[in-house]
Amino acid sequence: MSRTFNENNAIRMSNTPAVYAAASVTGTFVDMTGFRRATLITGNGELDGDMPVQVMEATDTSGTSAQALSGLTGTFTNGTDEARVGVIEVREADLSSGFKTVGARVIPAATDSFFGVWVLSDAYENPVDNATGDGVAFNVGE
């Protein structure tokens, strides 16, 4: 029997949907232990300027030793990328030795709306735990 999306992937909130002021904002770090891939799905609303999105790595979910992952950056461009989504994929092999968590840092130009959700996939064991919590309101189809 084939497994559902919810049995093969874990969904975790990174950056709560909100309007962020002009300052660097790093969302919740998500533990990749047990997964080979993590995909950040981001979205925005109206932009006041360009808004870079940078994938970060850390040694734990509290963000210890956080640093940017080279080459894993996207930018929402003011005037062309409003009300759009962006996707950045991270492979377990992209992480530095001793690092096991990922997060998303955004740098709004002024007051920009943004959200970020991680989809953890390619699990070492299935089905995965995909209970509500971790910013997920509901899971239908489990």
Instruction: Tell me the one-letter amino acid at 66.
Output: A
**CB within 8 Å of 93: residues ≥ 6 apart:** none
Q: 6 in helix, strand or coil?
A: helix
Question: Exposed, middle or buried, 12 (CB in 10 Å: 0-12/13-18/19+)?
Answer: buried
What the block records as the tokens of 17 is 């949907």
pLDDT of residue 68: 96
Q: What is the pTM of this model?
A: 0.86
CB 26 within 8 A of CB 57: no
pLDDT at 139: 60
What one-character DSSP code corresponds to residue 5?
A: H
Q: What structural domains and CATH numbers belong to the chain? A: 5-122 (2.60.120.380)
Q: Which pLDDT does position 134 carry in this prediction?
A: 58
- In the DSSP assignment, the letter for residue 83 is T
- State the Cα–Cα distance between residues 122 and 120, nearest whole angstrom: 7
pLDDT at 45: 87
CA angle, residues 69, 114, 99, in degrees to nearest 5: 25
Tens of pLDDT along the chain (142 residues) come to: 577 777 788 888 888 888 888 788 888 999 999 999 999 999 998 888 899 999 999 999 999 999 999 999 999 999 888 889 999 999 999 999 999 999 999 988 888 888 889 999 988 887 666 654 555 666 666 5
